[in-house]
């Protein structure tokens, strides 16, 4: 049973929006690419779990925890009868090399060192064990690094490291699924405790600086992120990919984006009309959508929506 589904982080959502509405620096583009690629890899691993793991177990995705003032992240945590399994998911692509003497990873050119995920994994395992001890839990922990991208190759891969490669994922999960497992109240209490300790939002976000006046206004397509939307009756139609979405849905999605980037600003009819860039030509139509779907606070020119 999956207790916590995976969602895009606040950081990824913000940079995704800013990438559509302003020119990112090379450094910020690289950070955005890495976040996006990492999320896609984690979602791919989630699909494997849903398809191949049917046994009685509990799965918690994307945990952000803290112990002794130290924050750590777990991509996927599986609770089975006799242990916890920590999965560190990596979506690396292309040829990589492992140097046993230095315990380092390099890209195919051998001149770019990659942060060794083993260090991340061992750190997460150590901190999780400490957190469990602090809360009176004693289940053993097993950890593994899962390379999900089928276009990834690691040359000189050591046999004694907890690496699972793309062709081995199905076998790993099938073996886990075949083990006898039964969830008890003890396991559910542990899962609930971990969920209660989840920080949800990372305090270490790397968001580029931005200002409202410098951002491109308009409604973006929910599928291709294009600004080429036109209103046809009750629908917003993308001229780039032909995706159709109700005007109400498109406006409310834009409200969510506005709130994400500018939480200190009030949601008013004029603010959302300006943010949507005139795609919805009638302010009254926007006001009706806000009236119907959000709670109004205040009256007349002081009215805003929550």
Structure-token match 């976000």, residue found: 205
User: Per residue in 183-240, pLDDT tens?
Assistant: 999 999 999 999 999 998 888 889 999 999 999 999 999 999 999 999 999 999 999 9
Residue 110 per-residue DSSP state? S
- Distance of alpha carbon 122 from alpha carbon 125, whole angstroms: 5
Quick check: 112 and 106 in contact, CB under 8 A? yes
Q: Quick: pLDDT tens for 45-58.
A: 999 999 999 999 99
Least Cα distance to 275 among 300, 301, 257 occurs for 257
Distance of alpha carbon 194 from the chain centroid: 18
Q: Residue 124: is its pLDDT beyond 90? A: yes
Token representation of residue 182: 């039964």
pLDDT at 163: 96
First to last CA, the chain: 34
Please give the average per-residue pLDDT across 31-49, as a whole number.
97
Helix (H) or strand (E) holding 230: strand 229-232
**DSSP character string of 119-157:** HHHHHHHHHHHHHHHHTT----EEEEEEE--TTEEEET-
Residue 150 has pLDDT above 80, yes or no: yes
Q: What is the DSSP string of 46-89?
A: HHHHHHH--SS-EEEEEEEEEETTEEEEEEEEEEETTEEEEEEE
pLDDT at 91: 97
Reply yes or no on whether the pLDDT at 71 is more than 90.
yes
Share of the chain above pLDDT 90, in %: 87
Rounded Cα gap, residues 271 and 265, in angstroms:
9
Query: b/e for 272-304, b at 16 or more Cβ within 10 A?
Result: bbebbeebbeeeebbbebbeeeeeeeeeeeeeb
Reading the block at residue 254, the tokens are 């834009």
pTM above 0.75, yes or no: yes
The dihedral region occupied by 213, where left means phi > 0, alpha psi between -120 and 50, and beta the remainder, is alpha
d(CA 226, CA 153): 34
Q: Report CA-CA distances (Å) from 36 to 151, 250, 265.
A: 17, 23, 27
In sequence order, the β-bridge partners of residue 113 are 106
Per-residue model confidence (pLDDT) at position 114: 85
Nearest to 62 by CA among 73, 50, 47: 73
Asked if residue 246 has pLDDT above 80, the reply is yes
The mean predicted confidence, pLDDT, of the chain is 94
Element containing residue 237 per DSSP (H, E):
strand 235-238
What is the pLDDT, as a whole number, of residue 204?
A: 81
**Confidence class of residue 110 from pLDDT cuts 50, 70 and 90?**
low
Residue 11 structure tokens: 């950081």
- At residue 95, the 3 state secondary structure works out as strand
| CA–CA distance, 103 with 122 (Å, rounded to integer) | 13
Report CA-CA distances (Å) from 285 to 204, 243, 248, 295. 39, 21, 9, 16
φ and ψ at 228, to 5 degrees?
-85, 60
Task: Report domain extents, the chain.
Answer: 2-197, 217-305
- pLDDT exceeds cutoff 90 at 107: no
Q: What is the pLDDT of residue 109?
A: 67
């Amino acid at each position: 049973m999956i207790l916590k589904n995976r969602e895009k982080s606040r950081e990824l959502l913000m940079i995704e929006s800013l990438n559509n509405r302003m020119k990112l620096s090379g450094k910020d583009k690289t950070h955005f690419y890495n976040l996006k690629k990492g999320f896609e890899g984690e979602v791919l691993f989630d699909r494997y779990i849903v398809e191949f793991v049917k046994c009685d177990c509990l799965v918690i995705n994307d945990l952000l925890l803290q112990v002794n003032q130290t924050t750590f992240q777990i991509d996927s945590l599986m609770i089975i009868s006799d242990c916890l399994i920590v999965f560190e998911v990596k979506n690396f692509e292309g040829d990589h090399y492992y140097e046993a003497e230095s315990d380092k990873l390099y890209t195919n050119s051998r001149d770019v060192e990659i942060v060794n995920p083993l260090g991340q994994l061992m750190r997460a395992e150590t901190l999780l064990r400490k957190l469990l001890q602090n809360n009176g839990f004693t289940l053993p922990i097993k950890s593994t690094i899962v390379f999900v991208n089928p276009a990834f190759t690691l040359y000189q891969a050591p046999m004694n490291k907890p690496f699972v490669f793309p062709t081995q994922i199905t076998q790993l999960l099938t073996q886990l699924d075949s083990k006898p497992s039964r969830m008890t109240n003890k396991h559910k209490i542990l899962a609930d405790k971990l969920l209660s300790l989840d920080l949800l939002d990372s305090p270490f976000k790397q968001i580029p600086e931005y200002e409202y006046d410098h951002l491109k206004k308009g409604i973006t397509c929910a599928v291709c992120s294009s600004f080429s939307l036109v209103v046809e009756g009750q629908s917003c139609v993308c001229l780039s990919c032909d995706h159709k979405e109700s005007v109400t849905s498109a406006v409310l999605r834009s409200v969510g984006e506005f709130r994400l980037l500018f939480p200190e600003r009030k949601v008013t009819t004029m603010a959302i009309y300006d943010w949507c860039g005139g795609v919805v030509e009638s302010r009254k139509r926007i006001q009706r959508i806000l009236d119907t779907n959000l709670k109004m606070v205040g009256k007349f020119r002081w009215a805003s929506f929550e």
